[in-house]
Structure 1
Amino acid sequence: MAEKLLIRALQGGKSTKIVTLNGKKMTKMPSVLGNLPGLKTLRLQNNLIPYVCPEISALTQFQNLKLREFYCEGNPLFLKKPVHAVKQEDIWSLQEITSRFIMNQLAEKNHFLTRAIEWYPQVRSMISQGRKCAICGRSFLTIWLECVEFFPPSKNWKISRNLQLVPLRILICSYKCFDQRGPNLFGIAQV
């Protein structure tokens, strides 16, 4: 049933203003919602969604969505149960070390690397998969630590009165950055 509703919403494209997927036992937020730039109302109450999908947060930084109403009560998005994590040493592969170096040099406009990388399409393809650390802003290739940050919803959203914080998926490059996180940022763990 949820698939039919999503297909109908996608067929509407930019004109789709409301998506209602309450109580559909969904385990993840549909990434196709990122393809609905005109979306104004999103209703996802009473599902099993643990976090905001990366496609939406990457596409719009979620806070900047033109949503006016967002309903997501009854999902495990809001369970903040800190657990002690065992920290492991940062041991990166040679590919990760090299990729981080190249991506960060390209971000600093290293002209030698910018010209050299034109000759290696497979390297360009690989580093195009890179991400930016939410703490230090430096690039990394593989997802190192997945976190969630809770932030207050936009004042122009129509939401339930009891909704005070909204979760946003955050990627961090190392434990060094994780140790510098703010008080509303939590690592995600399987328990």
Structure 2
Amino acid sequence: VNMPNLMSHLKKVAEQKPQATYYNVDMIKYQVSAEGIQSTPLNLAVSWRGDATNTDLRIDYKYNIEAMAAPMPLYNIHFLVPVDGGKAKLQAMIPPATWNPEQQTIQWKISSLSHRSENGGVGALLGRFQMTEGPCKPTQLAVQFTSEGSTLSGCDIQLVGTGYRLSLVKKRFAAGQFEYQL
């Protein structure tokens, strides 16, 4: 850490927000790229089955405790799937989801998921569609989520030296958008 630059930055922030009692400074941001199912905090398996008039979509998910340096819950998990096969009419979904008939997309939201969740963080999302131009063509599934208190890499930070200290170190990772080719 270049301490003179950090102090200069903190002085500017203090001038802009004199009423604040503390200031957050991003010290390090990095991107992790790892291959294999063992490196992802949310494992997925997707299947499409159908005929000319009906299509069933199934998304199996599993919280992966081994992917994180310290297991923490995943929050605000959004699954978004475009349905391609002419105009589709949603017949059923488990658990409840949001169907957008104009964009022909279905979206499931799970508020949090961890190894302490029901069934150990393992579950399934199911949708059944009636198609006008079936069978449905498999499409990409987009998934987003966040987690706080851990990292995927195990990277940690500490400030060594006298005169300065870190009062708070936040660890957070977010999936901007995982896309799974089906």
Q: Same fold (TM over 0.5)?
A: no
Structure with greater Cα Rg: 2
TM-score normalised per structure 2: 0.25
TM-score normalised per structure 1: 0.24
Structure that is richer in helix per residue: 1
Structure that is richer in strand per residue: 2
Which has the higher relative contact order, 1 or 2, with Cα contacts under 8 A spaced 6 or more apart? 2
